[in-house]
Structure 1
Amino acid sequence: MTSIRNALTSLADMFAYPLRHSHYLELVNPLWTEHVLKARVVGVQDETADTRTLTLRPGRGWRSHRAGQFVRLGVPIDGQRHTRTYSISSAPAREDGCITVTVKTVDGGRVSQHLARRVVVGEYLPLGEPQGEFVLPESMPVHPLFITGGSGITPVMSMLRSYVLEYDVIPDTVHMHYAPHVQDVIFGAELGELQASQKHYQLHKYYTRASAQEASVHFSAQQLERACPDWREREVWACGPAAMLDAVEAHWEQAGLARQLHTERFHAMVAPLPGAGVKAGRVWFAASGVQAQSDGATVLLRVAEDAGLNPPHGCRMGICHGCNTTLVSGCVRDSRTGSLISEAGDTVQVCVCTAVGDVELAL
C-alpha cells in the first residue's frame, strides 16, 4: 500500500508541477499539507496577566513529542514569517491529538506579544518537529527533583501531566518553583490541585520580589536542604531564568553531582567579553544587498532584523542551526564561547554571533 500511495503521490506531483499536489491541498485544508507542517489554533487560555496557553491541532505529518521537548513555531506578522521556540506544556498522550504551548510576553518582544495578545482561534501557524533532550528517561524509574522559575515551568508541566495521564499518579517528586509574586505562578491552580490530590508530589513555591505580604527569596543551599533533604540522591531537572540556573549549576558542580543535573535554558549562555571590549563596524548582507551598522555586541540576527531583513532562524540560541550562513569576509565572535570565526567560507550562526569590526555575510 505504501508503494501504491507513493506512486500516486508522484503522479499527482507531475500534474501539479512546478508545485506539488500538497500546495493545492493546502487551499482546501492547511492541515492536509505535506510540504510544510502546520497547526490550527483551536483554543486560547490566559494563565496569568502576561502569559497565555495556545492549544494547537497539528496537521498531517506530526509525530508525538516526549514530555519536556520544544517546537519551533512560525508566526506571520505584517507579511513576514518569524520563528520562535517554545516548550510543549501538554502531555504527549492527549486523546484529542492536540498540543499546547504556553507563551509569556517579553518586553519589546514582537512575537511573544503577538502570540499572547493577538492570535485567535482558527488561525494556522507553521509548526516544527519536536526537539530537545530535556526529558525524563523512558526505561528507568526516577524520583525527580524539579527546580523551575517563571515560564520554565512549561516543560516540567508536560512531565507532570504525562505522569497523571499515563499512570494516574505522580511518583515521589519534589518541586521547587520560583515566581515574582503569587499571582505570577503559571498553572498555579493546577499545581495546587496536584499538590492536594497527589500524595507523593511535594510543591514548594518561592516569590522573588518582595512586597508588603511576601519576603523576597531566591534559590539557596539552605532552601534546598529544607525542601529536599535527599537532593543528593535525586535526578534533577531545572529550567528558568539564567541567574537561577547559574546558581543551581554552581551548587551541583560544587557538590560533585553535576551528572545528576539536567538544565534547559531559554537563552544562550554568553561568555564575558574580552578585555579589549567590542569593535563596532559595518555588516554587509551580500545576497540581500543590505548594509547595517553593528555595535559589536548585538547578535547578527538582530542586526539583520533591525535592517529590515527576515533571515531563516529558529531557536535564537544556537541549538537548531536554522540560522546558519556563510562568512564571506571579516571576523565574528561566538557570544557563547568568545571564540573568533574569521576564515572565509566558515559557517556562522547569526543568532549567537556578533560582528568584530566590518563583516560580510552571504545572507
Structure 2
Amino acid sequence: MSMATGFRGNLWQAGRHARSLARTLAAPLLPDDVLGGLHPLWSRRAPQARVVRVVRETADTTTLFLRPGLAYAAHLPGQYAGIGLRIDGVWHWRTYSITSRPGASLLQVTVTAVPGGLVSGKLAHDTPVGSLVGIAAPEGEFTAPTGKPLFVTAGSGITPVMAMLRSHDLSDAVLVHVERTPEDVVFGHELRALPGVRVIEWHTSARGRPTPEMLDELVPDRPAREVLACGPAGLLDALTEAWPDVRVERFQPKRADHTAGTGGTVTLSASGIVADVAPETPILTAGEAAGALMPSGCRMGICHTCVGKLTAGAVRDMQTGELHDAADQPGRPVRTCVSAPTGDCTINL
C-alpha cells in the first residue's frame, strides 16, 4: 500500500511539474520566470523561503526555521532581513533579526507577536511548516563587536545579539538581559548554558527597570568594554545619554523633539486615495488605514522601501525634524513611515 501510494504521489508530482513547465514555456517569459515556475525557491527576482520547522520560545514568541532559495545572500551576525507574507492577496513586509549563525543549514528568525500586529501575529501563531514567505537581502550595521563585549538587551532585543553569541567563541563577554520574569526570557535555557559568557538576568517584576547607574554597579569594568544594546526606546535613550560610545539597535524609529506635523489631508496620486492624517501619525500608517496598498519594509526609516515623491505641500521628518516642502524641492523622495504632513500634501504613491 505504501509503495503504491508513494508511486502515485510521484506520478502526481511529475505531472504537476510538467504542467508548470508547459505553462512557463508557452509565454515569452524571462529565464527567472521559468525558474520560479519550476520551483518557488529558484527565483532570484522574487526570493522566497520555506518554513521547515516552528519552535515556540515563549507564549508570544516563535522561531521560524527557514530554507531560503537561491537568491539569499549570507548575513553577518546581528543583521536583519525583510520577511514578507501574502495576506488576502497582498504582500506585507516587516523586518526581523536573524538569530542563526552564518553558515547554518537553516536560517532562523524569531518573531514576537505585537498586539494588533497583522504580520507578527500571523508569523508567531499561524505560519505552519511548509509555508512560503518572502525574504529580502540581509541588512544592518549592528554587527559583532571587535573588543571585549558587554551586551545589554531587553525583551525581543535579545534577537540580534543571539546570532552574535551563537557565532563567536566568547571567553570574556557579559550579557545583561532585562525581562519581566524568568519564564519570559527568550532563549532562556540556551543563554544560561552559554560557555564563556557571564549572563545577568534582571527581572523587572521583582526589581523594576534598571538604570545605567545600576548597570555600572553590575558590570564595574563597563568603561573598558564595547557596549552593544538593543531593546525598548526608554532603555536605549537612557544608555545613549549616559554612555556616549554605546552602539544601539532600535526596532522603532527614534523621533526628534518637536517633530510632529500639523496634520492634513494626504492625496496619494497614483492610487487616487485620500487620507486625513493626524499630526503624530506617519503617512504610511494613515494611508494603509485608508485602504492604500503602500510599499513598506522596516517601518522605521532605514530600508527606504516606503519612499514616495512629494509633489505638492510639505511634510516633516519625524526622526530628524526636518521640513520638506515640494515648493522648494518638487518630487523630493520622502520616507512615508517616518513622515507626517504639515498641511495638505500630495505624494506619488
TM-score strictly above 0.5 = yes
1:317 aligns with 2:300: yes
Task: Please state whether the residue corresponding to 2:153 is helix, strand or coil.
Answer: strand
Looking at structure 2, the residues matched to 108 and 284 of structure 1 have their Cα atoms a distance apart, in angstroms, of 26
Unaligned runs of 5+ in 1: 1-13, 164-168
Please list, as runs of the form range in 1=range in 2, the aligned pairs for 1:55-74 lying within 5 A after superposition.
Answer: 55-74=65-84
Please list, as runs of the form range in 1=range in 2, the aligned pairs for 1:51-200 lying within 5 A after superposition.
Answer: 51-94=61-104, 96=105, 98-137=106-145, 140=146, 142-163=147-168, 169-194=169-194, 198=195, 200=196
Q: Shift of residue 273 of structure 1?
A: 2.4
Partner of 2:343: 357
Unaligned runs of 5+ in 2: 1-23
Q: Which amino acid aligns with 2:318?
A: S
CA RMSD, aligned part only?
1.6
Task: Please state whether the residue corresponding to 1:19 is helix, strand or coil.
Answer: coil
Report sequence identity in percent: 42
* Among 251, 259, 264, the residue aligned to 1:281: 264
Cα distance change, pair 91–148 in 1 and its aligned pair in 2 (3 A): same
Q: TM-score of the superposition, structure 1-length normalised?
A: 0.85
Q: TM-score of the superposition, structure 2-length normalised?
A: 0.89
Q: Shift of residue 338 of structure 1?
A: 1.4
* Among 260, 268, 272, the residue aligned to 2:253: 268
Moved beyond 3 Å, runs of 4+: 14-18
**Contact (CA 8 Å) 1:71, 1:87: kept in 2 or not?**
yes
Partner of 1:203: 199
**Contact (CA 8 Å) 1:330, 1:342: kept in 2 or not?**
yes
Q: Shift of residue 353 of structure 1?
A: 0.2
Q: Which amino acid aligns with 2:164?
A: M
Looking at structure 1, the residues matched to 149 and 28 of structure 2 have their Cα atoms a distance apart, in angstroms, of 52
Partner of 2:40: 30
Partner of 2:288: 305
Looking at structure 2, the residues matched to 219 and 206 of structure 1 have their Cα atoms a distance apart, in angstroms, of 11
Looking at structure 2, the residues matched to 282 and 220 of structure 1 have their Cα atoms a distance apart, in angstroms, of 43
Q: Deviations over 1:183-207 (max 9, x none)?
A: 111101111121xxx1x31111112
Q: Which amino acid aligns with 2:320?
A: T
Task: Please state whether the residue corresponding to 2:343 is helix, strand or coil.
Answer: strand
How many residue pairs get aligned? The number is 323
Q: Shift of residue 82 of structure 1?
A: 0.6
Partner of 1:11: none
Q: Which amino acid aligns with 1:177?
A: H
Task: Please state whether the residue corresponding to 2:41 is helix, strand or coil.
Answer: helix
Q: Shift of residue 229 of structure 1?
A: 1.1
* Among 46, 49, 59, the residue aligned to 2:56: 46
